[in-house]
Copies of this chain bind each other. A is one copy, B any other.
Amino acid sequence: MNKEEAMKKLKIRVTPIGNGTAIDHIQPGVGLRIVEILGMNSDHAASIALNTESKKTKEKRKDLILMENRFLTEEELNKIKLLAKEATVNTIKNFKVTKKDKLDLPDKVESVLECINPNCISNHEEIKTKFSIKKSPIKAKCHYCETSMDEKEIEKHIKK
């Protein structure tokens, strides 16, 4: 058996999605973090490719997530935006891409981040966290205590 035959034989057919969400062009290493944050459960089929070949991403490798019958809320979309800046999110309905979300960073996010300041009121009372977002370099500033978080802190403090 030559390589091509083997490739053909071994081609893995991941169930295509007729309805659901495709998160593509995720930088390698971030896919599983997104899975963790979105919280996959056993009701929906999903396919995850890690470090797969890519022509688009800088590293020539990417992570990819397909979720069947699972659609993202605005909060979930904002979490992905903060975590995977190069990613694209496609909503698929009846086997057609119906919505393509450009992952521009929002100016404000609610219920997406946790404040790093242990004394912040948002860590003690049942209130929505609110942050304003600045770009290049990315910063998130808490609406309540005005503590500012840098890129690494943001990545670590996205709510599950």
Residues of A within 8 A of B (CB): 1, 3, 6-7, 9-18, 28-29, 32, 35, 40-53, 61, 66, 68, 92, 94-96
> Is the Cβ of B95 less than 8 Å from the Cβ of A6?
yes
Closest chain B CB from A149 CB (angstroms): 24
In-complex Cβ contact of A40 among B11, B32, B46 (8 A): B32
B40 & A45 in contact (Cβ 8 Å cutoff) = no
Contacts of A11 in B (CB 8 A): 13, 16
* Chain B residues, Cβ within 8 Å of A50: 40, 42, 44-48
Q: Which B residues lie within 8 Å of A29 (CB)? A: 41-42
Closest chain B CB from A90 CB (angstroms): 11
Neighbouring B residues of A68 by C-beta, 8 Å: 51
A16 to B44, CA, bound (A): 24
Specify the chain B residue showing the minimal Cβ separation from A46: B50
